[in-house]
Amino acid sequence: MARKFSELEKRMDPESVKRAKARAREEMAQMLLAEIRKETGITQENLAKSMGIKQPSLSKLESQRDMQISTLRRLIEALGGKLELIAHMPEGDIKISQF
């Protein structure tokens, strides 16, 4: 049974939450969405078409620091990938499947 991360976070000590958030920021900074798209060899125009949006909208999405998980999922799937959300907890990894 999947648990909400917010429920798990409440049980974590503040230092663990701080470390988890810092690590998440580092990971995100290492691989920007535009880099993922470029690595797959897909242009903004082609990706935007496959998502049913216009190229300027995709450009804006790629530069955002925050977006809905559903939007990120659509983008990753349009690139041919699969988005999985995993919380790395002290007691083990938890796959979050509610999104």
How many domains in the chain?
A: 1
Write the CATH number for 45.
1.10.260.40
Q: How many Cβ atoms from other residues are within 10 Å of residue 23's Cβ?
A: 11
Torsion angles phi and psi, residue 33, rounded to 5: -60, -40
Which structural domain range is residue 49 located in? 5-96
Q: Is the pLDDT higher at 8 or at 88?
A: 88
Task: Give residue 59's pLDDT band: very low, low, confident or very high (50, 70, 90).
Answer: very high
Q: Is the pLDDT higher at 89 or at 17?
A: 89
**C-alpha torsion angle, residues 52, 44, 73, 40 (rounded to 10):** 130
pLDDT tens for each residue of 8-58: 778 888 898 888 877 776 765 556 788 888 888 899 999 999 999 999 999
Instruction: Tell me the C-alpha distance between 38 and 35, whole Å.
Output: 5
pLDDT, position 4: 74
